[in-house]
């Protein structure tokens, strides 16, 4: 719990001069921080939101002619999240009667931006074949309903639900995926760009790869290890995948621009500051530097400098990767000119060199004893601030949207007497908003913040037990109950000064 207290202490230093509305006030009532807002234009336009993804919330796996996704296969055909764990209902969000209630709830909280994904196999059931008008109509209605509630859409095109037919053809490891995605993106732009002006092209290629690799291990009958940073044997496949996902995003962006469409496009990257534990050896430090290269610099250097990091390319070459096209590919990605950077931030990661690793690239995530963690790793709002600083100073201060930030904690979401007091999540959110506001004061161009997630939902291969929502969902009855974090986040958005004590 020690780091938790340090994190709360960080929140106490926040003053009212943050650009964004909503202020986290010192728990001791520092008078300088009691005025809630500074009403600059940037503050007026700031998007305060929440995020979700189609497969995690929608259910309705065959409604309106939907095709199958790789996730239907993983959970329903192969039971990879455990017996009976399925996305067939999830939180029933495809149902209009249900989602209208959810939109009303979010509006009551004060959320003005909702990041959601549309499902590729709904729009193109075979991945490549004919367009499904029923799915287009569904999402157009959904977006109209959001906007009628004054909630702005942030539309993600791809949040991991690859059409099964394309996954079977190799998915992102097949270079044809660039053309597959471009076509899908063109269908999306043609059908939604009168309603939407902010798009996330793809979500988290890094974590998607880790999840896919875990699925493969489970299909082979092993419990499997979920490695966010690919280990040695996976390095070449992982980088090949990332290269194709980023090239696909660049192709979609080029097409959007060539058609003269209006809107802003970016990708949502899971950025993980890398830490060495006390007593790290030079080998551990070298592994940590390479892990930073794979998880962070690989993407950022390509987007902002048009090249892949030399150390990572050399490590891949050392593992036998064919890197022939990579320099030109990185230039293409750099030339795409994405309009903003989407940051998904959860934690910092401790990295070391595994014992008895063969020579060359070898990395291992671990958690030193005594470190305060959430389900997604060590809780470090200070590293969130450091990440903004790094992007501002090393990558030319691009516009940023925080596309995901949030936490789940074991045994935190119990409904007692009609209420869920999720103190740790609530503090996590306040501490990270504080860190973001500090970065804005230092000059970072952050234009929006989305909590992962609005609701509890289906956490991929980890099923329904890992809750991340500000709104509790009873998965049997579909009853919703806003948690303490929702109430406090709502007050923050509405411009009230809130403190960590409000989370108790």
Binding residues (CB under 6 A) for ligand GAL: these are 53, 56, 203-204, 207, 270, 344, 376, 404, 452, 459-460, 468
Torsion sign over Cα 53, 55, 56, 61: positive
Contact 71, 55 (CB under 8 A): yes
Q: 158 vs 326, which CB is nearer to ligand GAL?
A: 158
Q: Which CA distances in Å does 374 have to 192, 301, 489?
A: 37, 29, 19
Q: Which CA distances in Å does 322 have to 325, 338, 362?
A: 8, 27, 19
**What span, in angstroms and rounded, lies between the C-alpha atoms of 218 and 81?**
9
Q: 254 vs 372, which CB is nearer to ligand GAL?
A: 372
Least Cβ distance, residue 156 to ligand GAL (angstroms)? 9
Kindly name the residue from 204, 208, 364, 412 that is annotated as catalytic: 204
Q: 18 vs 294, which CB is nearer to ligand GAL?
A: 294
Residue 120 makes CB contacts below 8 A (sequence gap 6+) with 69, 127, 157, 158, 161, 162, 163, 184
Q: Which CA distances in Å does 230 have to 320, 448, 460?
A: 16, 30, 18
**What span, in angstroms and rounded, lies between the C-alpha atoms of 137 and 201?**
20
What is the four-CA torsion angle of 70, 71, 74, 76, rounded to 10 degrees? -120
Least Cβ distance, residue 270 to ligand GAL (angstroms)? 6
Kindly name the residue from 58, 208, 364, 404 that is annotated as catalytic: 404
Question: Closest residue to ligand GAL, Cβ-based?
Answer: 207
Least Cβ distance, residue 204 to ligand GAL (angstroms)? 5
Contact 60, 447 (CB under 8 A): no
404 is catalytic: yes
Q: 21 vs 270, which CB is nearer to ligand GAL?
A: 270
Least Cβ distance, residue 33 to ligand GAL (angstroms)? 31
3-state secondary structure 458-480: CCHHHCCCCCCCCEEECCCCCCE
Q: 152 vs 203, which CB is nearer to ligand GAL?
A: 203
Residue with tokens 């986040």: 489
Q: Which residues participate in catalysis according to the annotation? A: 204, 404
């Amino acid at each position: 719990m020690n780091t938790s207290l340090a994190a709360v202490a960080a929140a106490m230093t926040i003053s009212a001069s943050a650009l964004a509305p909503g202020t986290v006030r010192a728990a001791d009532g520092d008078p300088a921080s009691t005025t809630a807002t500074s009403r600059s234009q940037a503050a007026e336009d700031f998007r305060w939101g929440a995020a979700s993804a189609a497969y995690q919330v929608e259910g309705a796996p065959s409604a309106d002619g939907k095709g199958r996704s790789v996730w239907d296969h993983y959970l329903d055909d192969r039971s990879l999240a455990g017996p009976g764990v399925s996305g067939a209902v999830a939180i029933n969000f495809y149902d209009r009667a249900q989602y209208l209630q959810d939109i009303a709830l979010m509006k009551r909280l004060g959320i003005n931006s909702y990041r959601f994904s549309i499902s590729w196999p709904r729009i193109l059931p075979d991945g490549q074949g004919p367009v499904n008008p029923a799915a287009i109509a569904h999402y157009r209605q959904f977006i109209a309903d959001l906007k009628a509630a004054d909630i702005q859409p942030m539309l993600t095109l791809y949040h991991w639900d690859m059409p099964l037919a394309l996954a079977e053809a190799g998915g992102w490891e097949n270079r044809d995926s660039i053309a597959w995605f471009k076509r899908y993106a063109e269908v999306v732009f043609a059908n939604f760009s009168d309603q939407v002006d902010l798009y996330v092209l793809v979500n988290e290629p890094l974590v998607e790869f880790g999840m896919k690799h875990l699925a493969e291990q489970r299909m082979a009958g092993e419990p499997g290890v979920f490695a966010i940073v690919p280990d040695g044997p996976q390095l070449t496949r992982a980088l090949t995948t990332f290269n194709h996902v980023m090239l696909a995003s660049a192709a979609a962006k080029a097409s959007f621009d060539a058609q003269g469409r209006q809107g802003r496009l970016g990708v949502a990257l899971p950025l993980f500051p890398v830490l060495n534990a006390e007593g790290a050896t030079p080998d551990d430090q070298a592994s940590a530097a390479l892990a930073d290269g794979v998880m962070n610099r690989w993407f950022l250097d390509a987007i902002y400098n048009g090249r892949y990091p030399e150390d990572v390319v050399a490590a891949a070459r050392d593992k036998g990767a064919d890197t022939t096209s990579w320099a030109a590919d990185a230039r293409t990605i750099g030339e795409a000119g994405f309009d903003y950077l989407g940051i998904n931030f959860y934690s910092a990661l401790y990295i070391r060199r595994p014992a008895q690793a063969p020579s060359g690239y070898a990395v291992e995530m671990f958690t030193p004893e005594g470190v305060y963690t959430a389900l997604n790793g060590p809780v470090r709002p200070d590293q969130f601030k450091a990440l903004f600083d790094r992007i501002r100073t090393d990558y030319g201060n691009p516009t940023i949207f925080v596309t995901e930030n949030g936490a789940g904690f074991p045994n935190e979401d119990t409904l007692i007497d009609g209420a869920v007091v999720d103190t740790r999540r609530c503090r996590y959110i306040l501490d990270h908003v504080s860190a973001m506001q500090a970065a804005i004061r230092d000059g970072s161009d952050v234009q929006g913040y989305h909590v992962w997630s609005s609701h509890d939902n289906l956490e991929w291969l980890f099923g329904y037990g890992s809750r991340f929502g500000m709104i509790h969902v009873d998965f049997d009855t579909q009853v919703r109950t806003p948690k303490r974090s929702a109430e406090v986040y709502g007050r923050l958005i509405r411009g009230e000064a809130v403190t960590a004590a409000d989370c108790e």
